[in-house]
Amino acid sequence: MQTQAHPLESFFHRAVLNSYEGKLGLNDPELTDYVTRMLCDFSESGNLFRLRDAMGCPIEDLQQMVREADPVLGTAPSFDAERSIRKYIGDYTLFVAGMCPEMMTARPDSQAPRPTLGELIQTGKESYFIVSQFNLFEYKKQAPLFTRLADSFERCILGLGLIREELGDHSNLPTSVDSSSL
């Protein structure tokens, strides 16, 4: 059974393909597809801060996210949960660093400290590396992709930044989009 594509999938796929392969020479179809799906995922309301604390509040602090992923000293109930949370952290850091760099600037109304670009890169690469170490059984096939994401993390950020820049140049985009035309 084939899942229905996200309404923005073809748009994001063209943008990622143009940026990653066309401008950066990063020719990796599996990586391109993964980043496309990540952009679709984070385009949905509530998905950027989907990690929740014990009270059900979104976790915005990067270091608290990392603590949540720890199955020994943190709150992750299993190593599978660690993998899932670390995958999310890798995606979150890649997305924020490439598409939302303004989130690195502390807001006066926020209690959560904002990470620096260096912290996002370090945590994102580490998270994808940890996910790549889950290389047995059902995770074996995906592990090499996460190794490549960790190794190419900075280039992936740059590619997303190029997409963001290109999107910013289109101030004359229509205010509503017919998803059938995407």
Cα torsion through 82, 91, 56, 46, rounded to 10:
-150
Of 3-7, 86-90, 107-111, 177-181, the poorest mean pLDDT is in 177-181
Lookup: tokens for 113:
């400290």
Predicted local confidence at residue 4, as pLDDT: 65
Map tokens 């924020």 to a residue.
Answer: 96
Angle ∠(19,22,24) on CA atoms, nearest 5: 70
From the list 90, 94, 120, the residue with the least C-alpha distance to 105 is 120
CA distances 16 to 4, 79, 97, 153, Å, are 20, 31, 15, 14
Please state the domain extents for the chain: 9-163
Quick one: which H or E segment has residue 146? Answer: helix 143-151
Size of the chain in residues: 182
Predicted local confidence at residue 105, as pLDDT: 73
CA neighbours within 13 Å on the CB side: how many for 133? 11
CA distances 149 to 27, 28, 73, 137, Å, are 13, 10, 26, 20
Predicted local confidence at residue 103, as pLDDT: 86
Predicted local confidence at residue 113, as pLDDT: 76
Q: What is the pTM of this model?
A: 0.88
Predicted local confidence at residue 66, as pLDDT: 96
